[in-house]
Amino acid sequence: MHHAVNACLAPLYSVEGMHVITVEGIGNRKHGLHPIQESLANAHGSQCGFCTPGFVMSMYALLRSLKKPPTKEDIEENLAGNLCRCTGYRPIIDAFRVFARTDDALYTHGSSGLSSGEFVCPSTGKPCSCGLNLKGDKECTKTSTNEGDILKPISYSDFDGAAYTEKELIFPPELLLRKSANLCLNGLNGLKWYRPLSLQHVFDIRARYPDAKLVVGNSEVGIETRLKSFHYPVLVHVAHVPELNKLIIKDEGLEIGAAVKLSQLAKVLKMVIDQRTPFQTSSCRSILEQLKWFAGTQIKNVASVGGNICTASPISDLNPLWMAVGARFHISDCRGNTRTCGAENFFLGYRKVDLASNEILISVFLPWNSPYEFVKEFKQAHRRDDDIAIVNAGMRACLEKKDQKWMVSDASIVYGGVAAYSISACETKKFMIGNHWNKELLHGALKILEKDIVVKDDAPGGMIEFRKSLILSFFFKFFLWVSHQMDGLPLFDETVPISHLSAIKPFHHPSIMGSQDYEIVKRGTAVGAPEVHLSARLQVTGEAEYTDDVPMPPNSLHAALILSKKPHARILSIDDIAAKSSPGFTGIYYAKDVPGDNMIGPVVADEELFASEVVTCVGQVIGVVVADTHENAKQAARKVHIQYEELPAVLSIEDAVASGSFHPQTERSLRKGDVDLCFLSGQCDKIIEGEVHVGGQEHFYLEPHSTLTWTIDGGNEVHMSSSTQAPQKHQKYVAHVLGLPMSKVVCKTKRIGGGFGGKETRSAFLAAAAAVPSYLLNCPVKITLDRDIDMMITGQRHSFLGKYKVGFTNEGKILALDLEIFNNGGNSLDLSLPVLERAMFHSDNVYEIPNVKIKGKVCFTNFPSNTAFRGFGGPQGMLIAENWIQRISMELKRSPEEIREINFQKEGSVLHYGQQIEHSTLERLWNELKASCKFLDAREKVEQFNAQNRWKKRGIAIIPTKFGISFTAKFMNQAGALVQVYTDGTVLVTHGGVEMGQGLHTKVAQVAASSFNIPLSSVFISETSTDKVPNASPTAASASSDIYGAAVLDACEQIKAHMEPIASKHNFGSFAELALACYMERIDLSAHGFYKTPDIGFDWETGKGNPFKYFTCGAAFAEVEIDTLVGDFHTRQADVILDLGFSLNPAIDIGQIEGAFVQGLGWAALEELKWGDASHKWVPPGCLYTCGPGAYKIPSINDTPFKFSVSLLKDAPNPKAIHSSKAVGEPPFFLASCVFFAIKDAIIAARAEEGLTDWFPLDNPATPERIRMACFDEFTKPFIHSAFLPNLSV
């Protein structure tokens, strides 16, 4: 069997005797790619590439473990445990769908009965022509592409003329011949690792080491040791003990060994369900369904039944079910004594179970069900897939006929996530037994449940009202479900109304389908072609190098940071004696040790590299420790003890506004017309006022911050390899803190594993921190942050508070906007002011407003400094605007789309900062989208669905955007490049931009290839380096393709001018011949190109100017469905259209749109930051609760819209950028707010059922908690009022 596992959680000792296959092992660039790798690369499924090996290996394991090709559903379920931040998942799904089973004849050497040359669509398994849509390669060729282009089915014999199954790695014969043996291995810090092969051996070890920890999959212990600093001296790996791995089907039920993996259990449950009478397997079906949402495949492949039980997590998904179904746990001790404990009595307290120190859990017995015994599982989490539960439950009811009625003979109602352990609703159970199954039972049980299961007001995790409502909602769903199962039986008259069936209809996730529509306008050999990312083949094989992959020189050291634990405090003393005696310790450095200046900052030097006297946030750097290993450095840093005198902390925007806590000189204002006069004149029929709270967002780049720094020439120069969007900032910071000239500091970046703005400025202080010990010790030092530290200290997207006052007519025409906005800057200014400024520029979105007054301020708070993130304040400004647009529509009882349309800006409109709209395509985009998504028809269908379904509602929305392209700081709009032509006709390009997955190097190489009229393969871009192109602006603001493409084009044109005299004299057969001839004539074949964006500039004194070169516009439509009882939602459809001019590379641009949309969907509806503030008192003040993937949830593959269509506007050249193209990186991000407003549209329908038709606020992200609590009904009334707003860290 082949199993995909998480490498980070699989101890090396645990795979002894196994064949370990990595991504490099199945294919590589030199010897050929595996078909999985090839398909993923060709389908544009790898952008930054950091997540790519995980996807490849998950798919590889699936294909190798099945006897026949998987279904599309198998593939998507198998990939649910993999995360990607770049692609939006659609191209990955398309790449792997070609391996799915449709027509079995495709995967054999037999005939399918199809005529020769007929194409079979992998989506339907039927003949179609979508795969024959070939792209032209002539200049200005126009065509469309959809999923058919890249979904040509891959048979087992499509690569290299031989079936790839015949070339696969076999299980090594020497391992087959080798007999397993007991193991006792030693590790660091006195760790002992045992691998017993018999139960008696397990008991012998436990007798010697009573506190030894039993391990199977390491999915819990691995987290504890890696992230929580737990230390277990003795680990006993019991995965190979036969007595613990039995799965026996008995007449009375199923016996499940404690070490049985969850994936094994799922397979056996499926088999049992197929083989046995349906009524016997109600428990099996509920457990199987819960396992589907339990975790990703990689976790279920190693996690065990017993491990999950004995961990006794209060949010275990399975323990409530074991309790509800009456499972019995078989327990044994080292003397051979055995006993049985009912699951309901096994859990004693928080992570405490009924096991003595000499006992272990042997197996679980799951009894078959009797007729009319019904078992159902429930779970609600932040994210549907691979997420821990907020509340879960297992419920069982046995019904029997008595006195011509159906009565409850037995019941069990168990909840998790509401107390320190899974608990039974005992009083509810007593009430149910003996009562008739009818509405009186339902209402009575609900009343008792309110008191039976109590969630304390200070319960960890918060969301108290939401959790209370879920307790009732789950039981209501259970009642309806049982009633529906009984429907049609004699004497049963508790029929479920048709409109209520939506509450219990099982969720079916259809296979994700995407379509892409664009034209190809080729310029020369490469520009305009949908070329594959130049690094794709390296990334799919795992050969692509990132900073942490760079080989470390001998005697290198690792750095770890000493961090503040208080949000605002004076440092009284630092005790580092224990750290200095820690294993592997080499040095420790503070502010006093900085050779140069300790004050740093990208705009204003207002933060210390190492805090000297006062700390102003949790996670502020106080010093740095270096040691021989990463783990030793972290351990030494943890041993530094600091005494503080705590000072008052500002922990929200509202606190900052109330106390006047703002960064100095950050007040900004913009004006147009006379707002005050308009409000007083009576022109406005209505005036509304309100507030919008906009949540922040974690970047969650897959590659954490990393820098390797070393000195050369005896310490005279400093070089570094860094994961950064701004190598020049690294160069500048390091030179500054070391007291060196910038000419002696070099920063190089090959590629980065995602950035999204988070590596623009906040990576530089980390490089500077590592440079201090590297310089002082004259040796290489690497710093790589762990995920939790990275999230805690490097800042996020700014949260915002917007206070608006809007005047408008009864027709919906907006006349005046008075807006005050604040952003949460954190404890240093960083880029918060330009982020605020861009938010102010975009506060009109696309709407014509005659009178505008906008004021903004940057709040100083005691959180880590917030920073750039895709959109750079623009999405926050536009979201505030769309909130009041939506409110106007409710005030006037008109659709939001109508309000938007009558207020659209036109060609020639003058914006509130003085810039004039030119070449507007907004209305064309809007109309094309409304037509393609059949908006009116969609609205009619949604209303029809909502009328027929009480507990599920659908909503739709269509949202426009206008995003300004340029850095708003004029001086940053410049770019340099170095182009070198070699005598073999190949070209080396170096420019100041960084490749972070967005395809910048690919587009720039296309520009160079077309300029020289050579193939793209003849152009190479190695890395970004400050000693090749100086003073480069960060790769940000979506402008990099524009400015670096133009700089490279300038250099190419210079070289062509040098070559022209030679070229005009001879008719050369190739570019290589021309290059050699020029060399022989001593012609300079290199050139430095330069570009500065013309016709831009803005004066904040006057509040007027042209901050942007042009605008990228677009629009998006979404349809969602929400479950009003629990707050779950899914996006049924998303259609996106953007005007990108003549795209430099439409395939890469489509990938950017899809990735930005799904990332924006996370911001709008999934990703919530929770800080220790007044709203979250269960979190320590100033601390980030959501500092890892366990608590912070980005979209997974199943959050992708079911139907995901992306179109590029045709015949819309942009005269203001290179080759008539437009920027793409940030503009699509905000379009995902259409999902947010579609959710709100669905909530409006739900509230209407309760007679609530007035406007209501909804903060983003629209998490299940916010959705559920906004859908006010009988199950939330006991706990909240109709205007209740869940807490949000802003």
Q: Would you please indicate which residues are annotated as catalytic (active-site) residues?
A: 1226
Torsional class of 351: left (φ above 0), alpha (ψ -120 to 50), beta (otherwise): left
Residue 1102, Cβ density class (10 Å: 0-12 exposed, 13-18 middle, ≥19 buried): exposed
Residue 744, Cβ density class (10 Å: 0-12 exposed, 13-18 middle, ≥19 buried): middle
How far apart, in whole angstroms, are the C-alpha atoms of residue 327 and residue 1152? 50
How far apart, in whole angstroms, are the C-alpha atoms of residue 19 and residue 40? 25
Residue 565, Cβ density class (10 Å: 0-12 exposed, 13-18 middle, ≥19 buried): middle
DSSP for 1066-1103 reads S--SSHHHHHHHHHHTT---EEEEEEE--S-EEETTTT
How far apart, in whole angstroms, are the C-alpha atoms of residue 253 and residue 251? 6
The residue length of the chain stands at 1290
550 contacts: CB under 8 Å, gap ≥ 6: 708, 721
The conformation of residue 121, written as its DSSP 8-state character, comes to: -
How far apart, in whole angstroms, are the C-alpha atoms of residue 799 and residue 656? 13
Structural contact between residues 1232 and 1163, judged by C-beta atoms closer than 8 angstroms: yes
How far apart, in whole angstroms, are the C-alpha atoms of residue 296 and residue 300? 6
Structural contact between residues 715 and 775, judged by C-beta atoms closer than 8 angstroms: yes
Which tokens sit at 383?
């994210």
Residues linked to residue 405 through DSSP beta bridges, in sequence order: 402
Q: Please give the angle made by the CA atoms of 759, 764 and 766, to the nearest 5 degrees.
A: 100
Structural contact between residues 360 and 331, judged by C-beta atoms closer than 8 angstroms: yes
CA-wise closest residue to 997 among 91, 95, 383, 144: 91
810 contacts: CB under 8 Å, gap ≥ 6: 685, 686, 892
How far apart, in whole angstroms, are the C-alpha atoms of residue 1144 and residue 528? 4
C-alpha distance from residue 270 to each of 139, 267, 374, 707, 859 (Å): 56, 5, 18, 48, 56
How far apart, in whole angstroms, are the C-alpha atoms of residue 993 and residue 1182? 35
Structural contact between residues 1115 and 958, judged by C-beta atoms closer than 8 angstroms: yes
Return the exposure string of 929-954: e unless at least 16 CB atoms fall within 10 Å of the residue's CB, then b: bbeebebeebbeebeebbeebbbbbb
Which tokens sit at 887?
């409110």
Helix (H) or strand (E) segment spanning residue 397: strand 389-402
Residues linked to residue 1283 through DSSP beta bridges, in sequence order: none
Which tokens sit at 1166?
């999934």
φ, ψ at 375 (rounded to 5°): -125, 135
Which tokens sit at 548?
């942490």
Q: How many CA atoms lie within 13 A of 940 on its CB side?
A: 5
Structural contact between residues 977 and 1029, judged by C-beta atoms closer than 8 angstroms: yes
1176 contacts: CB under 8 Å, gap ≥ 6: 462, 1170, 1185, 1287, 1289
How far apart, in whole angstroms, are the C-alpha atoms of residue 236 and residue 531? 51
